Structure 1
Amino acid sequence: MPLLTLGINHKTAPVHIREQVAFSPEHLQSVHQALVELPGVSEAVVLSTCNRSELYLAGHHLDERHITQWLADYHDIAVNDLQPAIYQHSELSMVRHLARVAAGLDSLVLGEPQILGQLKSAFAVSQASGTIGKQLMPVFQHCFSIAKGVRSNTAIGENPVSVAYAAVDLATHIFADLTACTAVLVGAGETIDLVAKHLSSKGVGEIIIANRTLSRAKELAQQFGAKAVLLGDLPEVLPKGDIVISSTASQLPIIGKGMVEKALKQRRHQPVFMVDIAVPRDIEPEVANLNDVFLYTVDDLQQVISKNVASRQAAASEAEIIIEDGLKRFADEMNQRSAAKQVASLRAQVNDLVAQEITRHQKYLQRGENPERVLARLGQSIAAKVLHQPTNILKHASPHERQRTLAELEMILGLSGEQDDSK
């Protein structure tokens, strides 16, 4: 059954394209259902993060052009605008791509561990949606195992680096003393959790967490001695923020130019460092035009991140070897499963043939014919039916093909190929 990955990521598409193709979390189950209703698609897993949107599909006669058109139509984007950013992988190349993604080798930050958790979440959503089965299930499970091997046997995860880490690292270059700073974090997901951990480890003075759900904000704030507020309170707490880092799943900007202008007036134009990690963006791009605001997006963080990549290159090379070994094991397992199915099918066909011949020859016994003669004819009949198609192939083959085919047939049937010429 064909396997196909189709998607975009930070390497192929700028943030304004990625944010248009991002799937909102609350719609993911319906997206999975819509995909398996497409012609030829029987299974689907959707991965949507700030840096990538990918469809992992299994089915019959998967048409990448039709699926690309569906993706464009779903997000109301011209297919000609989307097409240049699309990449695709099929069959074993798809498994390799998934393994590299799971191991963090295809991430904006080389080796970052967050993507594995996001992949497992996507896997869980597909299970809840009932869109993953016997084709994609072993692919994902095997790739999770490969990623675990990479983490355990290489230094790819040492000196933790992530988009969240890069954002905090950049803040340390702008503010000499973080202990005197207040950080306003917008959102309460995994990325903001990481940001809060890094800020806390750097000794930031105060953390305020604003989230749509107050209970989740309080849960996160409790870990870091932070203050929790609702998103509606953001205009009141924003003036306190020397550092503002936002990462939500909102489809529209949360922090507008007007809100920031009012905050700057109350701050008497003390500089504000802002990082928008969200896709789609949480902070209006026009905010970057304001004086005393230093606004960075996930794309801007690439410069910071690149400084940390060099130390992971050797580990990445080791990881690639582990992935290729894992890929070979997966291919071997799939081939063995395929062979087992084919052998089982062959046995079933031969058993059916034998059963039919036994039933037919039982009639001769019931008529009182000699049992030895009936058994002899039964054996000859089964042999004739089993060898009928191979015999036809040999008859119509060229002399060279006949010798090769005969040799293969003798090997398969366990025959010596020697003839008794004395008879």
Structure 2
Amino acid sequence: MEFHCWGISHKSTSLEVREKFAFNKEKIDEIIANLKSVTPFENGVFLSTCNRTEFYSFCERTQIKNFDSHLEQLVGKNIGLRKNDQYLFSKNEAFKHLLRVMTGIDSMIVGEPDIFGQVKKSFQNSKSFNYLGSDLELIFSRAINLAKDIRSETSLSKNPLSIASLVENRILEQDKSPVLLIGAGNVGKALIKRLNQKKYEIELFNRTDINVDGISSRPLGEVSNEIKNYQIVVIAAASETPFFASEEVKDNCLIFDLAIPRNLPSGFVTKAGKTILTLDELSGMVAENLKGRESAVKDAENLISSNAEKEFLKLQNRKTINAVQKKFREEQSDIKLKAIKKAREKLSEGDEINDVIEELADEIASKNAFHVSKILDDSISSKNRG
């Protein structure tokens, strides 16, 4: 078995495809539990964000290349992924990809810091389900430390952009109008703090009562009554149904639909004649973001290229050593039990105790030496075949 990564992301698929993979925490937990119990994958880390869905595992390549079929069965619906929508990395390339993801250079918003925490959370989630395995835990633990070092050694961590910062920049281009914000998740909280610093008036609506940076939330059910009073609306919460109807929205309203899946129906723009920006519409701003961060991305890529292969080889060697140690312990235990049994038989037959002890020690030492030599030979042969 080798280390593999299956996935889709903003680089390989459209928003229409990605939003089919929008899973809340409860659904992700259900998927992990079922991956563990009803699929051939003995270990794994399942990552699901607004811009990517990935699965990392030590498994057979023939198994993970059809991961989309397993996922369809687990979620109970036909996702209809094309082969071109998906990617598959193996061994060292999978490790490099994990580092690119964690450093943020593979993100839609280059260098954004949120993905690092999201990967760590996915790693911890698998750990809580006892679904890691020693090899996968070793890989991710090393990747977390390496990605942290790479971010600190480059300018990626300096003034990082995020979805919240891009939305803020676009809002600042408008007249200073009050903002209606739906959702107090990570994006919502970050946006509130940014707009508060600019002295914007913010009305927050959330499923549960919450106070963010001095802003108290109101119930979601009140959105439709209040939205007509706002020129700027930010949707940062998921819902199976729209939070408001097109006729309730003010003329010339700027709406950020950041939900995955999108909250507003596809015909909303035509019917309401409003400006709606989704995550993919923000990609124009991302192009400008990349221009200013090309040097940092290049530095990060160089660090990944120069370190990944060396670190992955170390991890592979550690994996081999762990396997050898495990096999040796098992062989040693077997040798010990057989030698003790033989010694007891000789004692029961009346042999001298000193002779039995000496013969016992010689036999254990001889067999241990033989098995150590055999295990090392097997390990070298296996490595050469690989």
TM-score of the alignment, normalized to the shorter chain, above 0.5: yes
CA–CA separation in structure 2 for the residues paired with 1:252 and 1:82: 27
Contact 2:10 2:108 in 1 (8 A): yes
Tell me the CA shift for residue 379 of structure 1. Answer: 6.7
CA contact (8 A) 1:43 1:58 kept: yes
Q: 1:52 corresponds to which residue?
A: 52
Query: Whole-Å Cα distance in 2 between the matches of residues 336 and 238 of structure 1?
Result: 58
Q: CA–CA distance in 1 between the matches of 2:61 and 2:279?
A: 37
The yes-or-no answer on 1:273 pairing with 2:254 is yes
Q: Which residue of 1 aligns with 2:134?
A: 134
1:285 aligns to 2:285 (yes or no):
no
Deviation sequence 1:60-113 (CA, Å, 0-9, x none): 676125422122344555465443311122333222222211111110011000
Where 2:54 maps in the other structure, the secondary structure is strand
Distance 2:180 2:223 in 1: 9
1:164 aligns with 2:130: no
Give the structure 2 partner of residue 254 of structure 1: 243
Deviates more, 1:1-10 or 1:27-36: 1-10
What SS class does the counterpart of residue 44 from structure 2 fall into?
strand
Secondary structure class of the residue paired with 1:41: coil
Partner of 1:208: 203
Correspondence 1:315 to 2:315: no
Distance 1:252 1:3 in 2: 40
What does the per-residue CA deviation read over 1:136-159, in whole Å, with 9 as the maximum and x for residues that have no partner? 222222222122112221111223
Query: Is 1:197 aligned to 2:193, yes or no?
Result: yes
Please tell me whether the aligned partners of residues 252 and 280 of structure 1 are also in contact (alpha carbons under 8 angstroms). Answer: no
1:185 counterpart SS class: strand
Give deviations 1:220-274, integer Å, cap 9, x for gaps. Answer: 2xx0x4352111000122112221111213244333xxx231232xxxx3x2111
Deviations 1:376-407 (A, max 9, x none): 9x97998699779x99xxxxxxxxxxxxx9xx
Partner SS for 2:134? coil
Q: Aligned letter for 1:323?
A: I
- Aligned length, in residue pairs: 374
Residue 22 of structure 1 deviates from its aligned partner by 1.9
* Cα-Cα RMSD: 3.5
Judged with a 3 Å threshold, the aligned counterparts in structure 2 of structure 1 residues 331 and 101 are, in CA distance, closer, same or farther, namely same
Once the two structures are TM-superposed, the CA of residue 337 in structure 1 deviates from its matched residue by: 4.3
Which residue identity does 1:345 align to in structure 2? K
Aligned to 1:183: 179
How far apart are 1:295 and its partner, in Å?
Answer: 0.6
In the alignment, structure 1 residue 24 sits paired with structure 2 residue 24 = yes
1:119 match: 119
Q: Deviations over 1:144-188 (max 9, x none)?
A: 212211222111122331122112212233x1x32xx11111111
Please list, as runs of the form range in 1=range in 2, the aligned pairs for 1:221-236 lying within 5 A after superposition: 223=213, 225-236=214-225
| Equivalent residue, structure 2, for 1:8 | 8
Paired AA for residue 20 in structure 2: Q
| Partner Cα separation in structure 1 for residue 230 and residue 216 of structure 2 | 12
Q: Is 1:40–1:61's contact at 8 Å kept on the other side of the alignment?
A: no
Q: Given that residues 150 and 319 in structure 1 are in contact (C-alpha distance below 8 angstroms), is that contact kept between their aligned partners in structure 2?
A: yes
Between the aligned partners of 2:47 and 2:368, the Cα distance in structure 1 is 52
User: Partners in 1 of 2:273 and 2:341 — Cα distance?
Assistant: 92
Query: What's 2:233 paired with?
Result: 244
Displacement after TM superposition at 1:209 (Å) = 0.9
Instruction: Note if contact 1:209-1:227 (Cα within 8 Å) is conserved in structure 2.
Output: yes
- Is 1:100 equivalent to 2:100 in the alignment? yes
Q: TM-score, normalised by structure 2?
A: 0.83
Rg: which structure is higher?
A: 1
Aligned partner of 1:260: which letter? S
Give the percent of matched residue pairs that are identical in Structure 1 and Structure 2.
26
Aligned position for 1:335: 317
Range moving further from structure 2, 335-344 or 291-300? 335-344
- CA distance in 2: counterparts of 1:19 and 1:247, whole angstroms: 14
CA distance in 2, matches of 1:353, 1:129: 36
Whole-Å separation in 2 of the counterparts to 1:380 and 1:195:
72
- C-alpha contact (below 8 Å) 1:354/1:382 kept by paired residues: no
Q: CA deviation at 1:24?
A: 2.2
- Amino acid of the structure 1 residue aligned with 2:110: L
CA contact (8 A) 1:6 1:54 kept: yes
- Relative to structure 2, which stretch is displaced further, 182-191 or 65-74? 65-74
CA distance in 2, matches of 1:137, 1:254: 41
Q: Distance in 1 between matches of 2:158 and 2:94?
A: 27
Give ranges in structure 2 of 5+ residues lacking alignment.
381-386
Instruction: Find the counterpart in structure 2 of residue 301 from structure 1.
Output: 282
Give, in whole Å, the separation in 1 of the partners of 2:101 and 2:34: 24
Tell me the CA shift for residue 129 of structure 1. 3.1
2:202 alignment partner AA = I
Gaps of 5+ in 1: 392-404, 409-423
**Are residues 334 and 200 of structure 1, via their aligned partners in 2, closer, same or farther at CA, if it must alter by over 3 Å?**
same
Deviates further, 58-67 or 356-365: 356-365
Which residue in 2 is equivalent to 1:399? Answer: none
- TM-score w.r.t. the length of structure 1 is 0.76
Give the equivalent residue in structure 2 for 1:349. Answer: 331
SS in 1 for 2:181: strand
